[in-house]
Amino acid sequence: MIQYDKLGIFLSKPISLLLMLIYLLQSALLIYLIKDKFDLEQQINFQQKRISELEEKLQIFKAIDDFQIGFSDEEVQQLAEVIYSESKKYQYDPLFIMAVILTESSFKKGQRSSYGARGLMQVVPFVGKDVATRAGVDWTGKGTLFEPRSNIKLGTHHLFEQILKFGDVKKAIVAYNVGEGTLRKLMRKKKPLPQKYLNKVLKNYDMLKETYRT
């Protein structure tokens, strides 16, 4: 009887070890499957994000190409990239920035106004110089405003600062057009905001969304 007990104990040890091994293998397999599923989901999410990004860039490229005057295909591609990156940086809708550009310069290369505003976003030199460092642009003089990438970086940052100062997108758009000082004078005198430029930007924005948003 004692020997049977000993034999039972002797047999239970390898069985326990085997069960433990099976448990460990099952646990390891489960962890592997969970990790594999997580990695797969991460990969799918990355690919979906990448596809959405490419679709949005293509949307921007097509809109620019339809309206631009004087730019090469390579320059249009560069414009699409900078509009996309600056929009993400300041959380703009890219089509909103394009609406401002369309209103300001009709996407015409080398545009210059009678007031001295230059480039795609029609930035005046004193504003460009003031904003340059904060916008991450190397200011080398007025000619900087005719560099499309620099012009868009300066214009988008300047508009962003107006939004922060006035806490209102519509007021910021007006300030971008007439100047911060002029808008503050109008507000102090409780005069209505100028509507012509604002309405044109909003109209262009609606048109771009209707035409290019899928």
- Residue pLDDT, tens place only, 24-35: 777 777 787 787
Ordered by start, the domain boundaries in the chain are 2-212
DSSP labels, 58-114: HHHHHHHHHH-BS--HHHHHHHHHHHHHHHHHHT--HHHHHHHHHHHHTTBTT-B-T
pTM: 0.78
CATH number assigned to the domain with residue range 2-212, chosen from the 4 options 1.10.530.10, 1.20.1250.20, 1.20.120.530, 1.10.10.10: 1.10.530.10
- Residue pLDDT, tens place only, 57-106: 889 999 999 999 999 999 999 999 999 999 999 999 999 999 999 999 99
